[in-house]
Amino acid sequence: MELTKNTKSINSSTDQNKKEFYKYVIFMGLLLALGIAALKSLEYYYFAYRISADVYIGIISVIFLGLGIYLGVRFGKRKKTTLQPDAPAETATVLPIALPEGIELSSREREVLNHIAMGHSNQEIADMLFVSLNTIKSHTNNIYSKLNVKRRTQAIETARKLKIIQ
C-alpha cells in the first residue's frame, strides 16, 4: 500500500514537470517568433528606404547588445561552491612533498626563488642580482624542473610546503 502511494506522488510530480516544461517551450517559441517578426519588419522598413542604414545598424546593434548583456547576466554567474571536508581539520593529514633523492636547489636558485616569491619579475631579479635575463630564466627553468612544476605560483606553493622558503 505504501509503495503505491509513493509511485503516485512521483508520477504526479513528473507530470507537473512535463507541463511546466511544455509551457516554457511554448513561451520561448512565442518569444522567438515575436523577435523574428520584429526583425523582419525592421528589415522591411530598411529595404523600403523608410529608415537609413545608420539607424538600421544602430537598432540591430542595440538589440544584440541587450541580448548579450541579458545572456551574460543570466548564464555568466559563477556557481558558489562550498568545500565540505570529509574529516575535521585536526584529523586531516597533509602529505609532505619531497624533492627526488639527490636533487638539491643551489644557493643561487634559492635566492632566485625567494625573489620570485616576493613577486619580482625576471628582469627585476636580473637587475638585483647583476646577471643577465637569460641567466634568471635558466635558473627559473631549473627550479621548475627540480620542483616538478610549470608555473611561478606552483613553484612558490611547493617551495613553501617543502619549507624551502617562508
Greater confidence (53 vs 139) lies with 139
- 25 and 69 fall within a common domain: yes
- Domain assignment of residue 153, yes or no: yes
- Domain assignment of residue 90, yes or no: no
- Domain assignment of residue 91, yes or no: no
Residue 63: other Cβ atoms inside 10 A: 14
SS3 content of the chain, % helix, strand, coil (to 5): 70, 0, 30
Range of the domain at 66: 15-75
Looking up residue 147, the CATH number of its domain turns out to be: 1.10.10.10
In 3D space, the residue among 62, 61, 70 whose CA is nearest the CA of residue 31 turns out to be 70
What pLDDT score does 115 carry? Answer: 93
Are 113 and 155 contacting, i.e. CB atoms less than 8 angstroms apart? yes
**Residue whose C-alpha cell is 597533509:** 94
User: Mean pLDDT score of the chain, rounded to an integer?
Assistant: 80
What's the CA gap between 153 and 62, in Å, rounded? 42
Cell of 143: 627550479
- Domain assignment of residue 123, yes or no: yes
Domain boundary among 57, 75, 93: 75
H-assigned helices in 48-132: 53-75, 107-117, 122-129
- 71 and 119 fall within a common domain: no
What does R_g of the chain's alpha carbons equal in angstroms? 31
Residues 81-99: what's their mean pLDDT? 48
- Domain assignment of residue 100, yes or no: no
- 20 and 71 fall within a common domain: yes
pLDDT at 48 over 50: yes
- Domain assignment of residue 97, yes or no: no
- Domain assignment of residue 166, yes or no: no
Residues 63-69: what's their mean pLDDT? 87
Per-residue pLDDT band at 9 (split at 50, 70, 90): low
Domain boundary among 32, 59, 75: 75
Greater confidence (121 vs 100) lies with 121
What's the CA gap between 7 and 142, in Å, rounded? 64
Domain count, the chain: 2
- Domain assignment of residue 69, yes or no: yes
Domain boundary among 30, 59, 75: 75
pLDDT at 21 over 80: yes
pLDDT tens track for 142-155: 999 988 899 999 99
What pLDDT score does 164 carry? Answer: 83
pLDDT at 129 over 90: yes
Are 165 and 159 contacting, i.e. CB atoms less than 8 angstroms apart? yes
pLDDT tens track for 75-87: 777 665 554 554 4
pLDDT at 126 over 90: yes
